[in-house]
Structure 1
Amino acid sequence: MLPHLDDLATLVKAAAREELLPRFAGTERLFKADGSVVTEADFAVQKRLTARLQERYPEFALLSEEMDALRQQELLEQDNAGLWCLDPLDGTSNFTAGLPFFTISLALLIEHKPVLGIVYDPIRDECFTAQRDLGAWLNGVRLRVPSVDLPLRRCLAVVDFKRLGPLAAKLAVRPPYSSQRNLGSVALEWCWLAAGRFHVYLHGKQKLWDYAAGALILSEAGGRAETLRGEPIFSIELQPRSVVAAGDRRLFDEWKTWLTECSDGIGSP
């Protein structure tokens, strides 16, 4: 039997309230080898949730962003009953700068597929959850992507230009949408798309812990996503994946067609 989403939400919310919020905008930033930011808060949440999940669900192993890459790969290759996939603080740069847009993201993988997902935003007290084939919810209320009666040229896009290479320049010069944002927390971007707060999404490189919960939430809310190469988003590997997504399926087709014609094969796996 799968863990209950309400029980998991209780654990995640407590970690956010007691480990993240007291450190918000007041913790020292460190830099990892790849240049990304990490803080004391990342490690505090990882330590806390690792212990709590092990106590309650000892049959499942846990993979976290802040683990050593060799250990992460070992966990992916093991024959586990299930594997938690945790991003203890998604949006660390926002967090250290005092920008109120960050989250904890947790997914449960069974047989190499996400079956549960939780993304919790402690600033807005918004808890996005999903269970495979049963739906998605925001604070316990069923979440469905609203239909969009707009052409692509009238839509709001969230685009991460930093990881798109030559495609970024083409989008900057000839954008097919009306306006663009970059929010800085991948997991929350997935959820805000599911909630209809913007219309189309593009990101060049996301790691497993970035998208495992969020992609499940969007899918269960009725949205659609692929890589730039037209592959399924989810892959049980450490290599980053690109993302093309939209809440509305008609709009997704228009967005993907434009990108395919524009990019001439440019993209990330």
Structure 2
Amino acid sequence: MNDFRIYQQFAESIARQAGKMIKISCVEHHDIQFKSKYDFVTDVDERSQKIIQTAINKEYPEHQFFGEESADANDVDLDKTAKDFIWIVDPIDGTTNFIRQMPFFSVSIAMAYKHELVVGVVYNPMTDEMFSASKGTGAFVNGRVVHVSDVDNLDSTIVSLSMPAAAVEQRPYVCSCIEGASKSCLSIRILNSAAICMAHVAAGRMEAHYEEGIHIWDLAAGAVLIKEAGGEISDAKGNPITLNTTSVFASNKKIRPFVSTIFC
């Protein structure tokens, strides 16, 4: 059996390198480009990806790299093209928050081995929180073991959703989910960073996160965190996560059947 901790530690190191640059750059003027009406990329996203990709290429030149800011990111079928080792990176998950200087964004780095997600790191440079996990070793926040919560009733449940950036057609359904959750859950969070939200579910701070219209780079690291923290994860329809998945439903095990009646 592979020991993936060495890759986890490496991912933590390069996430901190990129995060240091991002934190310094947060208050600067940014070169902002529009991917779509509500979806942005900045020069800092691109610089962060370059830091991460350069480090991976140097340390593991035989590994495949796949990042959100890669030129062909939206056209690649990873289920068909992924090598044995592939790094999946979102250099800034929550770019809109970053642009507005709201501290809900992160560096998200995951690694898959033979199509299975086995390493996940989500680093928030503004809070200096490192959420980290690798297959079979548990989930950690700054070195402290964490688990999903044991909440088992909707009255005590905090759920999170996101307003899709590119998939605008999904927004009315998200609004209907908000309405449903508002009638039965303790509270709702809309942070618009899948990686941050999934990390918080893994750490037991929220019970569930649901999101449509995203990409594997948004959810890959969080998926490892959720599994290793004792939670459950699938796409929006309950199917297993693959390298082409475009939606996510992450939760603790006890609350999942109840929350699924609202979201799925």
TM-score normalised per structure 2 = 0.87
Residue of structure 1 aligned with 2:177, choices 168, 171, 175: 171
Where does residue 134 of structure 1 map in the other structure?
Answer: 137
CA distance in 2, matches of 1:132, 1:145: 16
- Which residue does 2:154 correspond to in 1? 152
Paired position in structure 1 for 2:97? 94
Higher relative contact order (CA 8 A, sep 6+): 2
| Percent identity over paired residues | 28
Are the equivalent residues in 1 in contact too, given 2:159–2:188 (CA < 8 A)? yes
Q: Aligned-pair distance for 1:70?
A: 6.3
**SS in structure 1 at match of 2:76:** helix
User: Which of the numbers 220, 238, 242 marks the counterpart of 1:235?
Assistant: 242
Return the alpha-carbon distance in structure 2 between the equivalents of residues 32 and 166 of structure 1. Answer: 21
Three-state SS of the structure 2 residue aligned to 1:196 is coil
Further displaced range: 33-42 or 157-166 = 157-166
Q: Is the 8 A contact 2:149 2:206 kept in 1?
A: no
Q: What does residue 223 of structure 1 align with? A: 231
Which residue of the partner structure matches residue 55 of structure 2?
A: 52
Deviation at 1:71, TM superposition (A): 8.2
CA contact 1:61–1:75 (8 Å) conserved in 2: no
1:245 is matched with which residue: 223, 233, 250?
250
From the superposition, tell whether residues 170 and 113 of structure 1 become closer, same or farther in structure 2 (CA, over 3 Å): same
What's the secondary structure of 1:206's corresponding residue?
coil
Indicate if the aligned counterparts of 2:32 and 2:40 stay in contact, CA closer than 8 A.
Answer: yes
- In the TM superposition, residue 125 of structure 1 has moved relative to its aligned partner by 0.9
Shift of 1:229: 1.5
Alignment partners' CA distance in 2, 1:50 and 1:171: 37
Q: Any unmatched runs of 5+ in structure 1?
A: 261-269
Q: Does 1:66 align with 2:69?
A: yes
Paired residue type of 2:255: L
In the alignment, is the contact (CA less than 8 A) between 1:28 and 1:96 conserved in 2? no
The offset of 1:160, in angstroms, is 2.1
Corresponding residue number in structure 1 for 2:203: 195
Are the aligned partners of 1:63 and 1:72 in contact in 2 as well (CA < 8 Å)?
Answer: no
Q: Sort the Cα spacing of 1:70 and 1:241 in 2 relative to 1 into closer, same or farther, 3 A.
A: closer
The structural deviation recorded for 1:179 is: 1.8
Alignment root-mean-square deviation, CA: 2.2
Whole-Å separation in 2 of the counterparts to 1:244 and 1:141:
25
